Structure formats: C-alpha cells, structure tokens
Chain A
Amino acid sequence: MELTLREEQTVQVLSLTGDVDLESSPQAREAVLQCLHGGNALAVDLSAVSYMDSSGVASLVEAYQLANSLALGFALISVSEPALQVLQLARLDRVFPIYPDVMQYLAEAS
C-alpha cells in the first residue's frame, strides 16, 4: 500500500493506493491519526484502493471518531468499488461522510 498526502485549500487529502489489509492497515492507521493530530480536516481518498478488509475499515472508524472528538472535518472521497462494497457490508456507507471528490466536500464543508 502507498500513501500520499497533499493539501487542498483547508483540507489535507490522504490518498491510499493498493490493498489496505492486516499487513498495511497499521501504516494507514498511523497516517490518518497523525494527520488529524495536526489539527486540520482530513479527506481520505480511496479511489485507488483495490482491496480493504476489516482492519482497514477499523482504521477509518478510529479516524472518524478521533475527528469528531477533535471537532475536525473528516470524509471519504472517491471511494473505489471494492472499498465501497466493504463499507456497505459493514453498513458504514451510511455513517461516513462520503463525497465523489474533495471539491464537493469543500463546497459542503464551507
């Protein structure tokens, strides 16, 4: 799994690429939590996620909960089909804020 981070106006965008599984999810978890502890809103780009298991989902849940506790914005953007299917199976597609892209998230957040 690869991670890239960029800034888009007031939001950090963390892009995950590849499989987010038990091997790589600790790295994803550390990255999302570190971004939030930096004090900025976070959008996690899942467009290039080819596989995600329950450990990957757990990292996103933890990040979402941390964002809420810190009163920071958090969203998933451009969710790939494999990632969406797993979120739907967990019924988290109705819990996470999900946007087609970061611009739509920014528009709604403002």
Chain B
Amino acid sequence: MVEECLWRQRFAAHPEQLKHVREALMRCLKATDFPASQVDRIVLAVNEACMNVIQHAYANEPGEMLLQVGRCTATHWVFRLTDFAAPVCLQDLRPRRLRELRPGGLGVHFMRAVMDRIRLEHPADEQGNILIMEKFI
C-alpha cells in the first residue's frame, strides 16, 4: 500500500503549540478534497493525540512531535503522529467507560470515536512512538 504524503510538520510538544497544530491541520485538510463536514472531528482527534504525547509520552517535559497527513487512496486517509519519547504500548491507550463521570480519560475515547483504525508502531532503530490513525471516508 503506497501512502502519498500530503503534508508534514514538526512542532514542539507544548500546550502552546496545539492551536498552531490545529490551524495548520485545518488548512491542510481544507486545501484537499477531504470532506469539510468531517474536518472538525479529525482536528479534535489529532489534537487529543498530541495532548497524549505532551502529557504522557513526554510527561510535560520538552520534546518534539511530527505530524504527517497522507492518503493511500481517495477515501483512505492516514494521520501519523511521531514522538521521540520512550516507547509506550497500545494498552496504555485505553478509553475509559463513559458511564464513569470523572474529569479525565476522554481523549482516547475521542480518538477512537473519530478514527476508524488506530495502531502504534515503534521505529526499528531509534526511540519513539508512531501513532497511526486511519480514516476511511
């Protein structure tokens, strides 16, 4: 499966950067034929993934993340978020039950509710995590 990279950008893993990530991602998607009605949900999911990198992968310490938007087919979109922190495992990305009313744990639920497939990979020869979120439209 050949994935065409449409856009990529590096950001500091810091809360102040998230609005720039959202704006850049929105501009990228609006410049393509990605359905306008789904852009906000994709931006939300990617933002939540970035939040996880900031808060958990880097534990609020300085770091960088690389966001990449790609397309395998006209209807198969791929959003890759790479960080350079210590490896985490997909088990750590469990959503909480919505019936539990508590402040935290909604981010993964949002990601899984919006994206059709989520998987985590690790680079073979260096530290980091690559979160791959796929959307079929």
Nearest chain B CB to A36 CB, angstrom units? 14
| Docked CA distance A82–B41 (Å) | 10
Which residue on A lies nearest to B114, using beta carbons?
A89
Nearest chain B CB to A28 CB, angstrom units? 12
Nearest chain B CB to A109 CB, angstrom units? 21
- Which of B16, B40, B103 is A82 in contact with, Cβ under 8 Å? B40
A91 within 8 A of B: yes
Q: Is the CB of B113 within 8 A of A89?
A: yes
Nearest chain A CB to B82 CB, angstrom units? 19
One of A15-23, A40-48, A97-105 contacting the partner: A15-23
Q: Is the CB of B15 within 8 A of A23?
A: yes
| Docked CA distance A23–B13 (Å) | 12
Q: Is the CB of A58 within 8 A of B109?
A: no
**A-B interface pairs (CB < 8 A), number:** 58
Give the number of residues in B that approach A within 8 Å (Cβ atoms).
Answer: 24
Q: Which of B96-110 contact A (CB under 8 A)?
A: 98, 101-104, 106-107, 109-110
With contact pairs A22-B15, A54-B110 given, residues A95 and B101 touching in the complex (Cβ less than 8 Å): yes
With contact pairs A53-B47, A85-B40, A86-B44 given, residues A22 and B54 touching in the complex (Cβ less than 8 Å): yes
Pick 18 A–B contacts, CB within 8 A, sort by A: A21-B47, A22-B15, A22-B54, A23-B19, A53-B47, A54-B104, A54-B107, A55-B51, A58-B103, A59-B103, A61-B101, A62-B103, A65-B101, A65-B103, A85-B41, A89-B44, A89-B109, A95-B101
